[in-house]
Chains A and B, each alone.
Chain A
């Protein structure tokens, strides 16, 4: 059994004060280095010997990674901004509602003070609560390296359970949420055993409404597949249609069929399929109401 009281792994600890310095360290130590931000994922991974780096490189001393900037184009969140600050920033605009919901449920106060949005994405857990909202809000991330930087959609970043497209020389610098008003209402809900727990299942919806018509709709679910996924069939069913209880029930059935859940310590496949339909409906209703609709 692992002794979680101590860290047995021995490593050198580096505190670069700039991205340039961080890139140099990554180039020097390569695969023997692990980047750390808030530590809420990396420290348990070290304790459980899931990773064995000889060098830990903290990004928390790089000022530009902690900034959160708001402009006409949307919200630019530094990858190492604490979840608490990101939550506060998301509270300021209805266009970020789904991410705000997710951040309210992501963890305890202590974790909000430690964890970062970049860290949540880089860990790439299939149950990461920030991912479904970022998928429906069309979130983009920027990865930087010595060679330059690239921006990609969140959907193209995570490639499987705990894996992402990031290379060993890259650092996630920013998460961008566009403020384009192609949705008027968004929401996020999750099912977990207790208040501060990992999701059994999560759902995010962003939609555009024109009186009783659902103009467009994006739906994403977490913890129901190797990575958070959009459910395109249900989206197509709803987009451009007159809303009705029958149609919503049909879409819910489609969500339940489209997801690919497994049975694990948190839930069974059967339960996840059943609860997905219910949680989707609740999330949709919440987003619909926020878009000014009545149900």
Chain B
């Protein structure tokens, strides 16, 4: 099992890694980059906790081999706020609406919300629920999360 070199742009920063073929993107981000906002939940693609954006599209990093995304531009939850720490409006909305309880699903939810609002600035409630259907939250009952996303729509 030969390690191979890959290049990634992570939250705008060009990076280079030597990775083993069985390294998952989730673990590369968490272990090599200490970007622990990307969560390990189920590990089998059911909970959405490990969601990151690859070239602008949300994917599950727990089912993605690091080698498979060689050359990609990756956005994790750590790259959503401005570099000076100013939160993204969607993050502010999650705080204002109390859309967070334990917080474990929040990184995935925020990234899905960002993805939705990028593509559809004024989504209906049905469209919001459809977009986050693959992200499980066991605390909030989803209501506040949907409200938070709705409050950011134009």
Q: Which residue numbers of A lie inside 8 Å of B, CB to CB?
A: 3-13, 15, 39-40, 43-44, 47, 56, 58, 60, 84, 107-111, 113-114, 194-196
Distance between A127 CB and nearest chain B CB, rounded to angstroms: 15
Is there an interface contact between A47 and B44, defined as CB atoms closer than 8 Å? yes
Contacts of B133 in A (CB 8 A): 108-109, 194-196
What are 9 inter-chain pairs, A to B, with CB distance below 8 A?
Answer: A4-B44, A8-B22, A10-B22, A15-B67, A39-B64, A39-B68, A60-B68, A110-B134, A111-B45
Given known contacts A109-B115, A110-B51, A113-B58, A44 and B22 CB-to-CB distance under 8 angstroms: no
Given known contacts A11-B22, A107-B134, A4 and B42 CB-to-CB distance under 8 angstroms: yes
Is there an interface contact between A58 and B68, defined as CB atoms closer than 8 Å? yes
Is there an interface contact between B65 and A13, defined as CB atoms closer than 8 Å? yes
Given known contacts A47-B44, A108-B134, A196-B134, A11 and B60 CB-to-CB distance under 8 angstroms: no
Contacts of B112 in A (CB 8 A): 109
User: Of A9, A15, A84, which is within 8 A of B22 by CB?
Assistant: A9
Distance between A111 CB and nearest chain B CB, rounded to angstroms: 7
Is there an interface contact between A40 and B45, defined as CB atoms closer than 8 Å? yes
Distance between A207 CB and nearest chain B CB, rounded to angstroms: 28
Q: Residue on B with the closest CB to A197? A: B46
CA–CA, A136 and B51, complex, Å:
35
Is there an interface contact between B58 and A44, defined as CB atoms closer than 8 Å? no
CA–CA, A58 and B68, complex, Å:
8
Q: Residue on B with the closest CB to A194? A: B133
Which residues 97-146 in B have Cβ within 8 Å of A in the complex? 112, 115, 129-131, 133-135
CA–CA, A172 and B141, complex, Å:
42
B59 part of interface (Cβ distance < 8 Å): yes
Is there an interface contact between A5 and B63, defined as CB atoms closer than 8 Å? no
Given known contacts A108-B133, A196-B133, A5 and B58 CB-to-CB distance under 8 angstroms: no
CA–CA, A243 and B6, complex, Å:
61
Distance between A212 CB and nearest chain B CB, rounded to angstroms: 34
Contacts of A3 in B (CB 8 A): 43
User: Of B27, B60, B65, which is within 8 A of A6 by CB?
Assistant: B27
Is there an interface contact between B40 and A110, defined as CB atoms closer than 8 Å? no
Given known contacts A11-B22, A195-B133, A196-B133, A43 and B51 CB-to-CB distance under 8 angstroms: no
Q: Residue on B with the closest CB to A108? A: B134
Given known contacts A13-B65, A196-B133, A113 and B48 CB-to-CB distance under 8 angstroms: no
B88 part of interface (Cβ distance < 8 Å): no
Is there an interface contact between A47 and B43, defined as CB atoms closer than 8 Å? yes
Is there an interface contact between A114 and B63, defined as CB atoms closer than 8 Å? yes
Q: Residue on B with the closest CB to A11? A: B21
B35 part of interface (Cβ distance < 8 Å): no
B33 part of interface (Cβ distance < 8 Å): no
User: Of A6, A12, A84, which is within 8 A of B21 by CB?
Assistant: A12
